[in-house]
Structure 1
Amino acid sequence: MDKRIEEYLSYLESVRGLSERTLRVYADDLERYEAFLQGIDIDAAQAHEIRAFAGSLVMEGKASSSVNRALSTIRGYYRYRMRFGGLKSDPGREVENLTMTRPLPKFMFEDEMAQLIESIDGTGFMDARDRALFEVLYSTGCRASEITGMTLESIDFPRGLIRVLGKGSKERVVFLGKMASTAMANYLVLRSMRLSRLKAEDHGRAFINTKGSPLTVRGMEKIVEKRRAASNMRKVVSPHSFRHSFATGLVAAGADIRVVQEMLGHSSISTTQVYTHVDMEHLRKVYELAHPHGTKER
């Protein structure tokens, strides 16, 4: 990898505070771009080379969102070089994103959420953990990575609050509802017993796997899929579906969009506004089913 790319990635890690996972994605995009240039100095590349690279990704069958992310990474690199590397012109400014229709987030209705959580009816460690995990995901609207990074000391049970570390290492406070608080209290008793039985040191992470290690995002994904299948839910859901359900529920209840933005930790209001479209789509479906003239087919 070119030294200048490595310096840019170091800048993103140390100054911008990007996560290891995000940095890997950026590195992959820039490595692919560098390989595509086939010997052309990256700082000497022109806009037409960037467009050609985007075209090659399209030809590979990459989704528009993936192509646009790669273009964003490249533009970020050239902005950095303009600011710190003495680059005279920015070829990325002349390249536009691919047009794309943003898919609506997949979420669960209240009865679907209840079906999923209530299907966990055991009393063992895994049942208590999974029930607490789902309740916290739904109560807080946190990202999966924020939940796996949550520590015991970040939870304020008396006030019903949790401090979480979001994207860009930004800390925010989320709310722990009554049902989530009760589920967490029950789980923490069994968590302590599990660590004691394993004679494992308590690392402080709230959610652990059966071996006592911190739960990973991949581990969480497997739990959600396992519980979804066991509940006979046909809808495909992921840990992020809880976040979408949280936000959609708030918007549907009339919450101010900027309040929802703050709760989700979105840096841009445009990211949050997609949930207003989700709610309108829900209303449309209700209308089509309930109104005498709601559907064209009679």
Structure 2
Amino acid sequence: MEDELKFFLQYLQIEKNYSEYTIDNYRRDIEQFYKFMIEQSIKKVEDVEYIDARLFLTKLYEEQMARTTVSRKISSLRSFYRFLERENKITGNPFLLVSQPKKGKRLPDFFYDEEMQALFAACEGEEPLAIRNKALLELLYATGIRVSECANIQMNDIDFELCTLLVKGKGKKERYVPFGSFAEEAIKRYIQKSRSILIQKNDHQHSALFVNARGGPLTPRGIRHILNQIIKKASLSGKIHPHMLRHTFATHMLNNGADLRAVQELLGHSHLSSTQLYTHVTNEHLRKSYLNHHPRA
């Protein structure tokens, strides 16, 4: 079973070009199912039947997992078995007819202007790592790019004359995203006063824009760790996660009158429906403003 999982993960990496974070989720989901198979004395993936898939779904519900988590795990296993079918390892997909839980329309969380100011204040400093963190935060907020996309940025992907960034997104799709003067200033300062020091200090030679404390390329996991540290330092309360910066970018753009199609292009969404979720956030924002300020609301 380990060989089958290994080949599937290679397929996701090479053919699907999925991010390290996404591949790790697939691996954990399938390994969890492998443990379930051992509990049920099922020795081979081809021995799994529809009734076993249904039993696994019941087990997930009994563990009181969120609907989105259950849906992702079923989707992961459905894709895994589809891959095995393609490779002629099995003759049927036991997860094909397993119904996924309906996803609730959960609005994306975002930072308010005051919270963003607190995050930027938490990055102030003259140390190389503080300068890097400020550039990282400015760029993520200025462009709305994913953490995985940020980790893939190379030095020659930045055009300071046009203030644009070449972003390599999901499925090998590329797009150009503009960035503003705050991000431009922070990135230039980082390249001049931080990146070169970190690389020379540790004798690393590569073209990745963002580097870690040892001078090597910064990974998506490393970026998430840095953002979590910034969030903690800013002492922000509530449920907070690094992907909120992407949500914040989209929400603030729409709140300030940006065109929905333009935001779709900037985010790299294939379908407008993915971007339309943010209109619910802005509509709710307008509704609250109306209720708070209209004399006859």
The alignment's TM-score, normalised by the length of structure 2, stands at 0.86
Q: 1:168 aligns with which of 156, 167, 171?
A: 171
Alignment-mate amino acid for residue 127 of structure 1: A
Which consecutive unaligned segments of at least 5 residues does structure 2 have?
A: none
Q: Tell me, in whole angstroms, the C-alpha distance in 1 between the residues paired with 2:180 and 2:13.
A: 34
Matches within 5 A, 1:173-192: 173-192=176-195
Q: Tell me, in whole angstroms, the C-alpha distance in 2 between the residues paired with 1:34 and 1:121.
A: 47
Residue in structure 1 matched with residue 17 of structure 2 by the alignment:
17
8 Å CA contact retained: 2:195, 2:210: no
Alignment-mate amino acid for residue 100 of structure 1: K
Residue in structure 2 matched with residue 243 of structure 1 by the alignment:
246
Which consecutive unaligned segments of at least 5 residues does structure 1 have?
A: none
Residue in structure 2 matched with residue 34 of structure 1 by the alignment:
34
Q: Tell me, in whole angstroms, the C-alpha distance in 2 between the residues paired with 1:99 and 1:188.
A: 46
Q: Tell me, in whole angstroms, the C-alpha distance in 2 between the residues paired with 1:200 and 1:20.
A: 26
8 Å CA contact retained: 2:204, 2:216: no
Q: Report which stretch shifted further, 72-81 or 273-282.
A: 72-81
Residue in structure 2 matched with residue 259 of structure 1 by the alignment:
262
Q: 1:132 aligns with which of 130, 135, 147?
A: 135
Alignment-mate amino acid for residue 266 of structure 1: H
Equivalent residues, number: 294
Structure 1 residue 107 corresponds to structure 2 residue 120: no
Q: Tell me, in whole angstroms, the C-alpha distance in 2 between the residues paired with 1:9 and 1:152.
A: 29
CA gap 1:28/1:196 in 2 versus in 1, 3 angstroms: closer
8 Å CA contact retained: 1:137, 1:239: no
Q: Tell me, in whole angstroms, the C-alpha distance in 1 between the residues paired with 2:91 and 2:253.
A: 47
CA gap 1:39/1:231 in 2 versus in 1, 3 angstroms: closer
Q: Tell me, in whole angstroms, the C-alpha distance in 1 between the residues paired with 2:7 and 2:213.
A: 39
Matches within 5 A, 1:175-254: 175-195=178-198, 198-254=201-257
Q: Report which stretch shifted further, 196-205 or 49-58.
A: 196-205
Alignment-mate amino acid for residue 14 of structure 1: I
3-state SS of paired residue (1:213): coil
1:86 Cα deviation from its structure 2 partner: 7.4
Alignment-mate amino acid for residue 56 of structure 1: K
Residue in structure 2 matched with residue 75 of structure 1 by the alignment:
78
Identity %: 35
Q: Report which stretch shifted further, 7-16 or 79-88.
A: 79-88
Q: Tell me, in whole angstroms, the C-alpha distance in 1 between the residues paired with 2:21 and 2:231.
A: 26
Alignment-mate amino acid for residue 177 of structure 1: G
CA deviation map 1:205-245 (0-9, x unaligned): 21223332223334333433433344443355433121111
Alignment-mate amino acid for residue 13 of structure 2: E
